[in-house]
Structure 1
Amino acid sequence: MMNLDQGAGAAPALAPEILGYYQEGREDGRLRAGAGLLELLRTQDVLRRLLPPAPVRVLDVGGGSGVHAEWLAAAGYQVELVDPVPLHVEQAGELAGVRARLGDARALAAADDSFDVVLLLGPLYHLTDAAERAQALAEARRVLRPGGLLVAATINRFAGLHDTLNQGRWFDPERRPYIEAATRDGRVRSENPQSGFTTAYFHQPAEIVGEFTAAGLTPLGQYGVEGAGWLMGALTDWLDDPAQRKSLLDALRLTESDPALLGVSGHLLTAGRKPEAAR
């Protein structure tokens, strides 16, 4: 039986190209192999250290198909997932212990002070307008209990440049102008048919800290997810070997919060807390 919540909420206003991209159903599989698997394993690694012990209430906003919600629920957390993509909600609703519903990060259908943890592991990099990102962070703060934890993922400003260099696509003259433009202003243009992604915004590490502070959240720390590991040619072999996988994760912890290296990672996790005295 699917764990779908039909409760009322704001109808998700998602750009058609973003909805179309995720309705293709590739996101779940992306996190189970190669650099995507490293992203999954490292996100788990960081969250396991940051989250309070289960059982507490976790709201997974923009949680996709439930790749993270699944292991959190299995660990005893009370997980609710909201996502603007109907396919994702259907997939997540099949997972044991996960309640899933359509929802918009900018207008959450949840009561004030009702969750111990809010995860924003996707929404911020598809909200290209700073005002919309501010609204999503304000909503996360609103539904967090005083003292509650927010962990948000962003894509680093130079991720596209690093990835295309790594894959050799930088040398395609038709592709390069789009990469250069995204490197300058962080905006990934959906009109590029060769980008392999959709409309997005890529942050500078210090920028998201400023957005947290402006939203009334107290920043706690930042964690490069993949570090430089995602750019290594032997990555797949390392991940396939249990001993080398563990050693790789150990190595990435050594540099995960070094300010000089935060921007090397493809993704960045930023943690913050709602002040105890918040009203």
Structure 2
Amino acid sequence: MTRSPSATDPQPPSLRGDILAYYEQGKEDARLRQGTGRLEFWRTQEILRRLLPEAPARVLDVGGGTGIHAEWLARDGYEVEVVDPVPLHVEQSGRLPGVTARLGDARALPAEDAAYDAVLFLGPLYHLPERPDRIRALAEAHRAVRPGGVVIGATINRFAGLNDTLLQGNYFLPERRVRVDAVSVDGRHAASSDDPHFTTAYFADPAEVPPEFTEAGLVHEGQYGVEGVAWLMGGVEEWLDDPERREAVLAATRRIESEPSLLGASGHVLTVGRRRG
């Protein structure tokens, strides 16, 4: 039975106020277009280009933000729809050529059954701290993707905060160290005025993600470390500025992207699942 959104549908779960306030600052788009954030952007782009079905195909970009990935996907010939719970993001992504956008929550997608060739979760999973919510969101992706279609979800790694804080030198501040060490134990990052650089999130152990895909009905097919270890190296921003060195960095990161012993060193991991055909 196909489910179409209607006025009688239950209202989707609401987004936490601190998460909404963080993204309403409008900083996310620039984060991925400059500095070391470009490594995350370019690596995500190249992995998706390998995993997605050939264009033209329908892609549902859940939590697609400002449309930073929807933009190039549309240029590549995909029919892209962004669903995001942040009104600012819907406004920004909806202005992009070839992209449609609407408000919605990953746990209650405004999408018909089996309507898409691929569903992307490049943000929602790490803003759902409770496992039942993540399973619910992945089950919605399973419902919305066609049989044989792919679901790709991004997670932040359990020790990403610890590694990044060490890199930036903030780990030597006692109050920051206490917070970071706590997150490395249970993965729960809470919004705090002492740490304005991020908001409420869940930092996952890469090994715990595939079982969540499986519980939602998806067949797990692989994991890919996005930044590898390159993001932790002091000269990476300058390397990315140089086209020749940038290609070397991307190639080196690609070489170790699915090495199990190194998955946890990456800042983000992409996990891939498929609806049975």
So what's the TM-score if we normalise by structure 1?
Answer: 0.95
Task: Report the secondary structure of 1:175's partner residue.
Answer: helix
Which residue in the other structure is 1:26 paired with? Answer: 27
Which residue in the other structure is 1:221 paired with? Answer: 222
Task: Report the secondary structure of 1:272's partner residue.
Answer: strand
2:201 is aligned with 1:200:
yes
Q: How does 1:1-279 map to 2 (within 5 A)?
A: 10-11=11-12, 13-191=14-192, 193-276=194-277
CA–CA separation in structure 1 for the residues paired with 2:146 and 2:21: 34
Aligned letter for 2:155? T
| Mapped contact 1:12–1:102 kept (Cα < 8 A) | no
Q: In terms of mean alpha carbon deviation, does 27-36 or 53-62 score higher?
A: 27-36
* Offset of residue 11 of structure 1: 4.6
Which residue in the other structure is 1:3 paired with? Answer: none
CA–CA separation in structure 2 for the residues paired with 1:227 and 1:253: 8
CA–CA separation in structure 2 for the residues paired with 1:66 and 1:194: 26
Task: Report the secondary structure of 2:118's partner residue.
Answer: strand
| Mapped contact 1:156–1:203 kept (Cα < 8 A) | yes
Task: Report the secondary structure of 1:125's partner residue.
Answer: helix
Where structure 2 has 5 or more consecutive residues not aligned to the other structure, the ranges are: none
CA–CA separation in structure 2 for the residues paired with 1:248 and 1:110: 38
| Mapped contact 1:117–1:148 kept (Cα < 8 A) | yes
So what's the TM-score if we normalise by structure 2?
Answer: 0.95
CA–CA separation in structure 2 for the residues paired with 1:192 and 1:161: 18
CA–CA separation in structure 2 for the residues paired with 1:113 and 1:208: 23
Task: Report the secondary structure of 2:30's partner residue.
Answer: helix
User: Percent of aligned positions with the same letter in both sequences?
Assistant: 61
Task: Report the secondary structure of 2:260's partner residue.
Answer: coil
| Mapped contact 1:170–1:176 kept (Cα < 8 A) | yes
CA–CA separation in structure 1 for the residues paired with 2:99 and 2:224: 26
* Offset of residue 7 of structure 1: 7.8
* Offset of residue 196 of structure 1: 1.3
CA–CA separation in structure 2 for the residues paired with 1:30 and 1:191: 20
Count of residues paired in the alignment: 271
RMSD (Å) for aligned C-alpha atoms = 1.3
> Which portions of structure 1, spanning 4 or more consecutive aligned residues, are displaced by more than 2 angstroms?
6-12
CA–CA separation in structure 1 for the residues paired with 2:240 and 2:182: 33
* Offset of residue 192 of structure 1: 5.0
* Offset of residue 195 of structure 1: 5.0
Q: What does the per-residue CA deviation read over 1:29-76, in whole Å, with 9 as the maximum and x for residues that have no partner?
A: 000112211000000010011111100000000000000000000000
* Offset of residue 193 of structure 1: 2.4
| Mapped contact 1:12–1:103 kept (Cα < 8 A) | no
CA–CA separation in structure 2 for the residues paired with 1:162 and 1:233: 12
